[in-house]
């Protein structure tokens, strides 16, 4: 019986979203953002040479069709990419009105977001009094720190010492529909932080805030603060069945690698594997050897986005793509003849672009194990259908009501 491996390279977009002009970064529309294409251009021009050098080297992704997908999505030619594909390739377009993690993943799993997310749009004094009061009541503090849009590492560096002195949680947000709370694992307590976020989440979910994220850190002002791997996302549950439910309802096993379990509020998930991207890759390699026939492994590699995209680190992002490509070679060598591996993404986060937020882009769909061919332009939802069909799992009829992704 066939197995499926669906791998999301978080934020690895390929430009060309037809509605990019309606999405902004630093006041500039996302037209022209192209995560893979622009990184490849910077590498070719010698502008991504910190810790690496030369053109972008991703031969395994390119052999699956990455270069062709970039050109299909955006019309751009990515320097160094463009090999004759040895897999099935295409470009997927999102219909949900967002460029965030839940929107992308839910739609990849067959369920476009049926509502508009709530965003905290003010960059300072971002949260209304009732939200601040709810946090204070739950945390039993007389205030919060932050209350603004900010990158996580910067806000912890700014408020970490005051947080340790006062015990007030550091609360911040971004252009995404998120409410993030940073707290010190020792002075505030890791479990206390997780409980705070879990208790706050239902209140914010009723406002259609997509995620409450616990951002624990350690260290001190003297030696510096470091975020830990104990992040936890408390996400709104999908309002209907998704790919993981379809497969599980058919009696199959579902393995979640990375933050997939959090994104789907554990709907249709049998077992979760967490860790850094390098640890997650080891889990994925192990699952290629051990996952049962008929199973689905759904993985997310977040560090392209969290460590390099938001920080506008072009060299770091290029290095991460090259690391993933080396690992992909090992994954491909372990595929069984009946396996299917899909590599895709949930949105863009072009490190060469304006601002520090996600970018509205199409994403690649690269498939190993299904021969050679071109998908053309498809919708995010079609990815779920491809997986379900490979596993011989019924696909809900509503999946085929989406708009033409080429429009």
Average pLDDT over residues 290-312: 96
pLDDT of residue 63: 98
Give every CB contact of residue 48 below 8 A, 6+ residues apart in sequence. 39, 42, 56, 314, 315, 317, 318
Query: Strand pairing partners for 272?
Result: 256
Q: Is the pLDDT of residue 405 over 90?
A: no
pLDDT of residue 397: 75
Listed range (93-97, 265-269, 403-407) with the worst mean pLDDT: 403-407
Local confidence band at 229 (pLDDT 50, 70, 90 cut-offs): confident
Whole-angstrom CA distances from 60 to 6, 50, 84 are: 16, 23, 12
Q: Is the pLDDT of residue 98 over 90?
A: no
Average pLDDT over residues 390-406: 67
Q: What is the DSSP letter of 348?
A: B
pLDDT of residue 399: 63
Q: pLDDT by residue (tens digit) across 3-15?
A: 999 999 999 999 9
What does pTM read for this prediction? 0.90
Q: Which helix (H) or strand (E) holds 286?
A: helix 277-290
pLDDT of residue 151: 87
Q: pLDDT by residue (tens digit) across 198-209?
A: 999 999 999 999
Would you kindly state where each structural domain of the chain is located, as residue ranges?
3-113+239-399, 129-235
pLDDT of residue 26: 82
pLDDT of residue 1: 87
Average pLDDT over residues 67-93: 97
pLDDT of residue 286: 98
CB distance 91 to 378 below 8 Å = yes
Q: Is the pLDDT of residue 247 over 80?
A: yes
Average pLDDT taken over every residue of the chain: 95
Q: Is the pLDDT of residue 245 over 80?
A: yes
CATH superfamily of 129-235: Phosphopentomutase (3.30.70.1250)
pLDDT of residue 187: 97
Local confidence band at 398 (pLDDT 50, 70, 90 cut-offs): low
CB distance 348 to 16 below 8 Å = no
Q: Give dist(CA 41, CA 244) in Å, integer.
A: 37
CATH domain 3-113+239-399 topology? Alkaline Phosphatase, subunit A (3.40.720)
Listed range (55-64, 220-229, 343-352) with the worst mean pLDDT: 220-229
Which residues are part of a known binding site for Mn(2+)?
Answer: 10, 305, 310, 346-347, 358
Average pLDDT over residues 295-313: 96
Local confidence band at 406 (pLDDT 50, 70, 90 cut-offs): very low
Share of residues in the chain with pLDDT > 90 (%): 93
Q: What is the DSSP letter of 140?
A: T
Q: pLDDT by residue (tens digit) across 142-179?
A: 999 999 999 888 999 999 999 999 999 999 999 889 99
Which residues are part of a known binding site?
Answer: 10, 305, 310, 346-347, 358
The C-alpha angle with vertex 184 and arms to 182 and 185, in degrees rounded to 5, equals 115
Q: Is the pLDDT of residue 48 over 60?
A: yes
- What stretches of 298-394 show up as alpha helix (H) in DSSP? 303, 314-334, 380-390
Angle between helices 314-334 and 35-44 (to 10 degrees): 110
Q: Is the pLDDT of residue 404 over 70?
A: no
């Amino acid at each position: 019986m066939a197995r499926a491996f669906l791998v999301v390279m978080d934020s690895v977009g390929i430009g060309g979203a037809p509605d990019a002009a309606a999405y902004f970064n630093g006041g500039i529309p996302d037209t022209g953002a192209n995560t893979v294409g622009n990184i490849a251009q910077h590498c070719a021009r010698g502008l991504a040479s910190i810790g690496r050098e030369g053109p972008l080297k991703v031969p395994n992704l390119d052999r699956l069709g990455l270069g062709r997908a970039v050109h299909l999505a955006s019309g751009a030619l990515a320097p160094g990419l463009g090999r004759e594909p040895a897999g099935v390739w295409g470009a997927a377009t999102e219909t949900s009105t967002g460029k965030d993690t839940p929107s992308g993943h839910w739609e990849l799993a067959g369920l476009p977001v049926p509502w508009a997310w709530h965003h905290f749009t003010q960059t300072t004094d971002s949260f209304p009094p009732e939200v601040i009061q709810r946090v204070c009541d739950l945390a039993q503090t007389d205030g919060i720190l932050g209350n603004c849009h900010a990158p996580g590492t910067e806000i912890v560096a700014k408020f970490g010492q005051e947080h340790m002195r006062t015990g007030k949680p550091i609360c911040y947000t971004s252009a995404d529909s998120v409410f993030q709370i940073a707290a010190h694992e020792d002075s505030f307590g890791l479990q206390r932080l997780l409980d705070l976020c879990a208790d706050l989440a239902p209140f914010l979910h009723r406002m259609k805030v997509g995620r409450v994220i616990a951002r624990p850190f350690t260290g001190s002002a003297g030696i510096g603060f470091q975020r830990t791997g104990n992040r936890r996302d408390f996400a709104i549950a999908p309002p209907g069945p998704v790919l993981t439910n379809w497969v599980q309802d058919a009696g199959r096993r579902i393995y979640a690698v990375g933050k997939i379990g959090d994104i789907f509020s554990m709907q249709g998930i049998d077992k979760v594997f967490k860790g850094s991207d390098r640890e997650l890759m080891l889990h994925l390699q192990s699952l290629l050897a051990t996952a049962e026939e008929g199973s689905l492994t759904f993985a997310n590699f977040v560090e392209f986005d969290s460590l390099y995209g938001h920080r506008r680190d072009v060299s770091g992002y290029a290095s991460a793509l090259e690391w993933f490509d080396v690992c992909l070679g090992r994954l491909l060598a372990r595929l069984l003849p009946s396996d299917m591996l899909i590599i895709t993404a949930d949105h863009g986060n072009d490190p060469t672009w304006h601002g520090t937020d996600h970018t509205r882009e199409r994403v690649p769909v690269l498939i190993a194990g299904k021969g050679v061919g071109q998908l053309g332009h498809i919708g995010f939802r079609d990815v779920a259908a491809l997986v379900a069909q490979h596993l011989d799992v019924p696909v809900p009829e509503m999946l085929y009501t989406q708009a033409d992704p080429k429009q």
